[in-house]
């Protein structure tokens, strides 16, 4: 009997075609929402491999739903919503994708948000669609400049470095805060200056978050930190929502203590604070940093590489819990 694979949302056809050569594949056709827990439970009880996406919450109940579950293959860099401890207990491999795949696409969405909120692109689009045209020299849509400003990067891994490279085209001064300093030659090439977080917040015209979500970075940016920012500054987050305390950001935007925010991620995804959605000085995208056709195809095919390895009895190339392969059962 061929193994059975369940895919929680549509992915690139080329990846599905590769899977169908070796397995029976069922794809949930609805790309508009994450599956409910009951739907995930039902899927796991009928399949051997779960191919899941970022917003799928694979808790202990799902992991333990059927003893025949052989693998959880996620199309994410880290599996924050997968109970990896439960999977490890059952010696089920949990696989991910390499972070490097997403560097450029996430840097691009960061810049899209930065430019959109500073130059009030969404508001301008809405006005034109409403037949309102203030004119080329009207003060109606005055925004913030970008060229020559100070960009502060909170976290400067691969994505932060990609953002910094793009900042050179805008002649920006780039500050960064990261526990690990960038090597001197690379910092010089990228024009990076390392400073304490409070100094970065106080000096930057744009604060862009690129830290990983860890216990240390959860709620790293709250009311105190936002209070250190310039009133003319913008907060950009295309990393992980819980790094920012959403309530503190809402209050700062409502009181105009900062100029605006550009967000691709939210504290309690997929739920977004209704108060945040009312803020006219904020621009939102629904966690689509990797939503580039060729990138998503590459991501899906990496997941397939992991699945094919497990089905062939091999250790997958991107295993999050490799300890399951050490020692005897």
Angle at 35 between CA 282 and CA 312, to 5 degrees: 115
Residues paired with 208 in a beta bridge: 153, 236
Are 260 and 118 contacting, i.e. CB atoms less than 8 angstroms apart? yes
C-alpha count within 13 angstroms, C-beta hemisphere, residue 219 = 7
Catalytic residues: 240, 269, 287
- Residue 159 has which token pair? 């994505």
As a whole number of angstroms, the distance between CA 260 and CA 252 comes to 9
Sheet strands side by side (includes 150-154): 192-194, 173-177, 150-154, 206-209, 234-237, 260-263, 282-284
Sheet strands side by side (includes 49-52): 24-27, 4-7, 49-52, 71-74, 94-95
Alpha carbon 162 to its chain centroid, in Å, reads: 15
Question: Helix (H, G, I), strand (E, B), or coil: what is residue 133?
Answer: coil
- Residue 274 has which token pair? 């209704």
- Token look-up 């400049």 returns 145
3-state helix, strand, coil in the chain (%, to 5): 40, 15, 45
Q: Report DSSP state, residue 65.
A: S
As a whole number of angstroms, the distance between CA 174 and CA 191 comes to 6
As a whole number of angstroms, the distance between CA 290 and CA 110 comes to 11
Closest CA to 176 of 205, 146, 207, 148: 207
- Residue 154 has which token pair? 């909170």
């Amino acid at each position: 009997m061929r193994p059975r694979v369940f895919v929680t949302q549509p992915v690139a056809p080329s990846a599905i075609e590769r899977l169908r050569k070796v397995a029976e594949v069922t794809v949930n056709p609805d790309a508009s929402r994450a599956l409910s827990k009951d739907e995930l439970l039902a899927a796991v009880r009928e399949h051997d491999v779960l191919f899941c996406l970022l917003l799928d919450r694979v808790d202990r109940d799902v992991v333990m739903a059927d003893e025949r579950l052989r693998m959880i293959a996620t199309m994410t860099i880290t599996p924050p919503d997968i109970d990896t401890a439960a999977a490890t207990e059952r010696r089920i491999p949990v696989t991910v994708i390499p972070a490097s795949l997403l560097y450029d696409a996430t840097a691009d969405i960061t810049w899209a948000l930065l430019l959109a909120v500073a130059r009030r692109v969404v508001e301008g689009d809405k006005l034109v669609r409403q037949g309102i045209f203030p004119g080329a020299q009207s003060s109606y849509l005055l925004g913030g400049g970008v060229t020559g400003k100070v960009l502060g990067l909170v976290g400067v891994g691969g994505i932060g470095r990609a953002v910094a490279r793009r900042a050179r085209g805008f002649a920006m001064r780039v500050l960064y805060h990261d526990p690990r300093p960038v090597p001197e030659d690379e910092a010089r090439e990228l024009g990076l200056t390392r400073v304490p977080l409070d100094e970065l917040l106080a000096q930057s015209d744009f604060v862009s978050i690129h830290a990983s979500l860890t216990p240390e970075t959860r709620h790293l940016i709250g009311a105190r930190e936002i209070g250190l920012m310039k009133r003319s500054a913008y907060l950009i987050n295309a990393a992980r929502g819980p790094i920012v305390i959403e309530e503190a950001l809402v209050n700062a935007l409502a009181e105009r203590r900062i100029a605006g925010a550009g967000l691709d991620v939210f504290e309690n995804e997929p739920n977004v604070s209704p108060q945040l959605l009312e803020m006219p000085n904020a621009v939102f995208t629904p966690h689509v940093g990797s939503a580039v056709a060729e990138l998503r195809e590459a991501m899906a095919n990496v997941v397939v590489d992991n699945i094919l390895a497990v089905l062939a009895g091999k250790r997958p190339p991107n295993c999050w819990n490799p300890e399951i392969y050490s020692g005897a059962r």
